[in-house]
Amino acid sequence: MKSDTIEIRVRYGETDQMGVVHHANYALYLEMGRIEWLRKFGLSYKKMEEEGVGLPVISLQLNFKKSALYDDVIRVQTKLRKMPRATIEFDYEIVNEANEIIVIASTVLAFIDLKTKRPTRPPKYLLDVLS
């Protein structure tokens, strides 16, 4: 399936007193990966929201292997698991500069109509780009 990789330098404010990335920041790193993944394929969260389609995260799984540290440059690979239907599913791998796996993760996001807050189909243009 389609994938993209971004690089992020760990900022001081994302770490604890020992210079280790706080676990909550990994959800942000995954979001950054998804947003850039969409951009790579000419898609955007902003456009979908303007058209009334939201993408809330309904499942987030993280499996920690190592710690990322202050000032590390990490790579977030975002990969579409399967073609979207009512949901869109991603797998992720975050690695450090030594190419060691830090985190293996997955998310599931639901397509919802922002007015009704009910599930909806993915936009046709999204499906066209991904097929």
Percent of the chain at pLDDT exceeding 70: 100
What's the angle, vertex CA 122, arms to CA 51 and CA 4, rounded to 5? 100
Q: Give the pLDDT score at 1.
A: 75
Cα-atom radius of gyration of the chain, to the nearest Å?
Answer: 16
Does the pLDDT value for residue 26 go beyond 90?
yes
Q: Could you tell me what percent of the chain has a pLDDT over 90?
A: 98
Strand partners, 57: 109
Judge whether residue 17 has pLDDT over 80: yes
pTM of the model: 0.93
List phi, psi (to 5°) of 120. -145, 170
Distance CA 86, CA 120 (A): 6
Q: What pLDDT score was predicted for residue 96?
A: 97
The per-residue pLDDT for 131 is 87
> Which residues make beta-bridge pairs with 109?
57, 88
Q: What average pLDDT does range 1-29 have in this prediction?
A: 95
Say whether 16 is catalytic.
yes
Convert the pLDDT of each residue in 33-80 to its tens digit.
999 999 999 999 999 999 999 999 999 999 999 999 999 999 999 999
Per-residue confidence (pLDDT) for residue 50, from 0 to 100: 95
pLDDT of residue 113: 97
Tell me if residue 110 falls in helix, strand or coil: strand
Catalytic residue (choose from 16, 91, 113, 128): 16
Q: Above 90 in pLDDT, residue 87?
A: yes
